[in-house]
Structure 1
Amino acid sequence: MEMPLHHHNNDGGFYQGCKRCKIERAAPDLINKAQALLDSLNPVRIEGCLDNLTTLSQSVRNLTDLINTLS
């Protein structure tokens, strides 16, 4: 599903009531934090948690894809 052009793109404004503005502002920080968490996990030391690591990895990819569609 292709995202429509964001109506605030041209003026650079952030509007408190706009959910997409909030996502666009928060997403880069969320991606960085999720990636840092993913990088800090060590599947060798965390026995039995490989499925959780895979799920987290997929979540980071999904969040990255969302940001890329918004920009």
Structure 2
Amino acid sequence: MKREKADQPITSDLPRKVFNVAEVALILQTSETTVRSFVSRGELKAIKIGRILVSEKALDDFIISKEG
């Protein structure tokens, strides 16, 4: 996804504010295993409430940290 403005969230066109591992994998175009690895290494902030959940802000921050 390409952002038009630097301050516009990358996931702004998605309606939800929290994503599960499968959804994050689809957004990042990677595997669920890779997403879990990012979380376990602390690269992608997440919470575990029965399952791993990633907030929209955490996903935006992660993507921004990988740019450049």
The alignment's TM-score, normalised by the length of structure 1, stands at: 0.23
Q: More relative contact order in 1 or in 2 (CA 8 Å, sep 6+)?
A: 1
Higher relative strand content? 2
TM-score normalised by the chain length of structure 2: 0.23
Bigger fraction of residues in helix:
1
